[in-house]
Structure 1
Amino acid sequence: MRIFVPRDAVSLALGADLLANAIAAEAARRGVAAKIIRNGSRGMFWLEPLVEIETPEGRTGFGPMTLADVAGLFADPASHPKALGLVEALPFLAKQQRLTFARCGIIDPLSLADYRAHGGLAGLERARGMSAEAICAEITKSGLRGRGGAGFPTGVKWETVRKAEAPQKYIVCNADEGDSGTFADRMILEADPFCLIEGMAIAGRAVGASQGYVYCRSEYPNGIKIFNEALAIAQETGLLDGFALELRVGAGAYVCGEETALLESLEGKRGMVRAKPPIPALRGLFGQPTVINNLISLATIPYIMAQGAEAYASFGMGRSRGTMPVQLAGNIKHGGLFETAFGITLGELVNEIGGGTASGRPVRAVQAGGPLGAYFAPAQFETPYDYEAFAARNGLIGHGGLVVFDDTANMAAMARFAMEFCAHESCGKCTPCRIGSTRGAEILDRVVAGASRPGDLDLVKDLCETMKFGSLCALGGFTPYPVLSAITHFPEDFGGAALPLAAE
């Protein structure tokens, strides 16, 4: 009897370790030969801990499980009050197009044999028979763009590093997942770490890099532990084929999600933004040509190399090719990770897939792209989930996070929070970000308190323009997105004085 009990951070927080121990004890008490496999999460967090039992028809799910539900697993599973039926048939999973996350929740994350049995290493094996130029061309042809937020073509970045002449080149994975409501990086670290290792090894072959680093935030101790265990297995088995790889842990500064601040931190310095040029692709880590990709970008590489660029590019719309792991969070009924091709509408994601608000109240706003992403009102829910479509609405796809708010949210307070967040997280190197965010928070304090002065919102708009075009990096440059979108779409929370944006 094979029983799957997840060991991701969400399930552990809900007592999954105690649950696994209780299941093992109950099986022993009944004389049942049971093998408990600690898998990663399927990404349906409202059902965690989600226990699965392998049957001839497939894996049957039970959740959310508690200790009181354990005995029923061995009595009559079919009539168990937490029985969900075949997990793969659950609508939330059945509607997805899982490419990057195809193995998450299915395999034992620390079994290389399990990883290989589910298609792992096929991409690396193919890459070993190709030239570096051909690998870069394949990634370019796939249309893969950076999944960290900027959406820059991955193949172009790789080709730039490949052509650069230097004695040493590096691959750096940005796993500093700091956006509120995002957890895709963590899910890969916990559920399919070999996928990231394989992707980085392929990237190393493509550009001629012999050293790689994964930069992860300290707030992910469970993911760090699992990844390091997987890395040790990869090193012991010779999987990396001469490519040196190690994980470094950051101290939790949000600005270190910006690529140049990340490099400074990786070099042992204070995490502060570098002025560009030179770009990291030419002068990055320790002054050498460096590929810096988001974790999801690198974890997608094995699929592209195994199935071919055309297979990946067949998903999506326009210049947004492939799939995106949309992370549904906030006040939402069905929070979790939903991987789908670009082109689905924002309304479908929030209302149909996410099930609307958890509170049962009307949706008032959705923030897309993290704490510095724009707010979308229900009137904009027909917007396709696509880089260009979002940009046309002054929005950002970002790392794929969607945070939902119901009609009790005060949008002036949310705009004020964006300024406060920027002021708190600013590295302090540039004046627009360091000073502009502080002044912006002060002005919005007056607005929230109902004591605004004439011209305050015009001053906020002026500050936002200065921050957007004068900041050294996206921390200050993106802060105007939530502020201006809140003022534009919810003017009643700001005293009724709307500031129309050009694209609207």
Structure 2
Amino acid sequence: MPLTPVLSRYWDDPQSWTLDTYRRNDGYKALDKALAMAPDDVIATVKDAGLRGRGGAGFPTGMKWSFIPQGPEKDGTVKPHYLVVNADESEPGTCKDMPLMLATPHALVEGVIIAAYAIRSSMAFIYVRGEVVPVLRRLQAAVAEAYEAGYLGKDILGKGFDLDLVVHAGAGAYICGEETALLDSLEGRRGQPRLRPPFPAVAGLYACPTVVNNVESIASVPAVILNGIDWFRSMGSEKSPGFTLYSLSGHVTNPGQYEAPLGITLRELLEYAGGVREGHRLKFWTPGGSSTPMFTDEHLDVALDYEGVGAAGSMLGTKALQIFDDTTCVVRVVLRWTEFYAHESCGKCTPCREGTYWLVQILERLERGDGTEDDIGKLLDIADGIFGKSFCALGDGAASPITSSIKYFRDEYLAHFEHGGCPFDPHRSTLFAGVMA
């Protein structure tokens, strides 16, 4: 399956982030086309194209926009509508939104203007990780260019549409990637998930109707509007149409971003990336970051779309393909991930706050070689107590690596305490040379 560079087609331009470069590559033509359409027609186009959210869940973007209530409230008041772009990318292994904003920030800005017009919003926010200062500066510069060129502000392109766009720097918390925690943070409160319902479409930012979309979802909108439904649906699969960014990292010869149609396989992507590093073989990998159940080399030919990955027992998530070869200790990797989730838990709900803490304690014991076979059962029990029972998806993300790693690598867990340590520890390699053969 060939690659489909759309968002990334001119990332190699020496000045890819400037307004001039963006205009040379059909920049803001989609905006002109969208403003000539009725807002509902823009929503219908995105819905009919089948664009799905690129932030993890894969919810249809156009459908999300259509949930925004139009017209006055029951008491006659008219609430403002808000558009919020979730650029708080912090899932371990995920690295697609930051390169996109660094290379082509105007693709996101144009997408924001079109989306805001569609949902009848006059105020939009891009919530970006504050630690990523180069991206923050690049976004702020692009927004300033857009204001100066008349793409933002009052009476955009003389079409009577007004929009202000604010780039907001978050203070750095993984939990703020959860949309309701992000909204709390944006309002100036501690970032913690909200109880739903009400959903953001009804009562989001400042208790007003709000759409929260991922960076890649919004940046894909201009291409959909400009090139049309049939063009977009000519790529990908029937239920998961279009193009997307796959992030390959880890033990791969050429890591990076690979823009391809949804439904490509890891085997095909590895061919483009030069394969697993020389002299080694694939051991396990994640299809969508550390919060998705891991796959092994038997899943190389799984179609990397929402249906294919789901049917195989995982989630496509953010398409963060972390590749681990045969030198990697799966217990150590899962411990590091679990330490991350325990550290980033907001502490609001008991299953996640307490469960992630105890997962770390047991995994540390197992990794040292001090555990017992009963500990594996304890891990599964705790994971079951977290999955589907925590306030937000962070708990599910913490439980997924536990259950999937034990499913595929139970023998490796057993080897740790049967032989008093990690079989992959170089200091013990002669002692355990044949353990994992």
Question: How is 1:214-225 mapped onto 2 (pairs within 5 angstroms)?
Answer: 214-225=126-137
* Deviation per residue, 1:168-204 (Å, 9 max, x gap): 1111001111123332211221111111110000011
Q: CA deviation at 1:107?
A: 6.5
Contact in 1 for aligned 2:291/2:396 (Cα 8 Å): no
CA RMSD of aligned residues (A): 1.8
Deviation at 1:454, TM superposition (A): 4.2
Q: Which amino acid aligns with 1:237?
A: A
List aligned pairs for 1:154-303, cutoff 5 A.
154-161=61-68, 163=70, 165=72, 166-240=78-152, 241=156, 242-303=162-223
Count of paired positions = 403
User: 1:429 is matched by which residue type in structure 2?
Assistant: K
- Using the TM superposition, give the Cα deviation of residue 162 of structure 1 relative to its aligned residue in structure 2, in angstroms: 5.1
Change (3 A) 1:328 1:110: closer
- Structure 1 pair 481/113, CA: closer, same or farther in 2 (3 Å)? same
Please tell me whether residue 469 in structure 1 is matched to residue 388 in structure 2. Answer: yes
For the residues of structure 2 that align with 1:151 and 1:265, how far apart are their CA atoms? Answer: 24
Structure 1 pair 314–261 and aligned structure 2 pair: CA distance change class (3 A): same
Are the aligned partners of 1:174 and 1:295 in contact in 2 as well (CA < 8 Å)?
A: yes
Match of 2:342 in 1: 423
Q: Deviations over 1:71-100 (max 9, x none)?
A: xxxxxxxxxxxxxxxxxxxxxxx9420122
358, 363, 371: which one pairs with 2:277?
358
Q: Tell me how far 1:164 sits from its aligned partner.
A: 6.6
Distance 2:366 2:32 in 1: 59
Name the counterpart of 1:316: 236
Deviation per residue, 1:91-128 (Å, 9 max, x gap): xxx94201222332236245323212211112111111
Higher RCO (Cα < 8 Å, 6 or more apart) = 2
Paired position in structure 2 for 1:326:
246
TM-score (norm 1): 0.77
CA contact 1:356–1:363 (8 Å) conserved in 2: no
Partners of 1:364 and 1:407 within 8 A in 2: yes
Match of 1:149 in 2: 56
Q: Is the 8 A contact 1:162 1:208 kept in 2?
A: no
Corresponding letter in the other structure for 1:452: G
Q: Mean Cα displacement is larger for which, 220-229 or 286-295?
A: 220-229
* SS in structure 1 at match of 2:284: strand
Structure 1 position 297, deviation (Å): 0.2
CA distance in 2, matches of 1:323, 1:480: 30
1:349 is matched with which residue?
269
Query: Which residue of structure 2 lines up, in the alignment, with residue 114 of structure 1?
Result: 21
> Aligned-pair distance for 1:296?
0.3
Unaligned runs of 5+ in 2: 73-77, 157-161, 417-437
Amino acid at match of 1:356: G
CA distance in 2, matches of 1:335, 1:487: 27
* CA apart distance, 1:264: 0.8
> Who is 2:429 aligned against?
none
Residue type at the aligned position of 2:227: Q
Quick one: distance in 2 between partners of 1:314 and 1:361? 36
- Name the structure 2 match of 1:126: 33
Q: TM-score normalised to the size of structure 2? A: 0.88
Task: Give structure 1 regions of 4+ aligned residues with deviation exceeding 6 angstroms.
Answer: none
- Whether 2:255 is the aligned partner of 1:335: answer yes
1:13 aligned partner = none
The gaps in structure 1 that reach 5 residues or longer are: 1-93, 498-504
1:22-45 residue CA offsets vs partner (Å, 9 max, x unmatched) = xxxxxxxxxxxxxxxxxxxxxxxx
Counterpart check, 1:448 vs 2:359: no
CA distance in 1, matches of 2:389, 2:10: 43
Q: Which of the residues 2, 5, 10 maps onto 1:103?
A: 10
Shift of 1:149: 0.4
Residue in structure 2 matched with residue 392 of structure 1 by the alignment: 311
Deviations 1:208-231 (A, max 9, x none): 100000011022111111111111
3-state SS of 2:200 partner = coil
Q: Distance in 2 between matches of 1:446 and 1:377?
A: 25
Q: What amino acid maps onto 1:176 in structure 2? A: D
Counterpart CA distance in 1 for 2:344 and 2:315 is 20
User: Would the alpha carbon gap of residues 489 and 431 (structure 1) be closer, same or farther in structure 2, given more than 3 Å must change?
Assistant: same
Q: Which amino acid aligns with 1:361?
A: H
Aligned partner of 1:408 among 319, 327, 345: 327
Match of 1:140 in 2: 47
Secondary structure class of the residue paired with 1:365: strand
Cross-structure match for 1:368: 287
- Percent identity reads 36
Distance across 1 between alignment mates of 2:21 and 2:370: 62
**AA of the residue aligned to 2:22:** Y
Please name the residue that 1:495 is paired with.
Answer: 414
1:170/1:291 contact within 8 Å kept: yes
Q: Contact 1:418–1:483 (CA<8 Å) still a contact in 2?
A: no
Secondary structure of the equivalent of 1:479?
Answer: helix
Q: CA-to-partner distance for each residue in 1:265-300, whole Å, 9 max, x for gaps? A: 111111111111111111111111111000000000
Alpha-carbon distance in 2 for matches of 1:222, 1:113: 20
Deviation at 1:359, TM superposition (A): 5.5
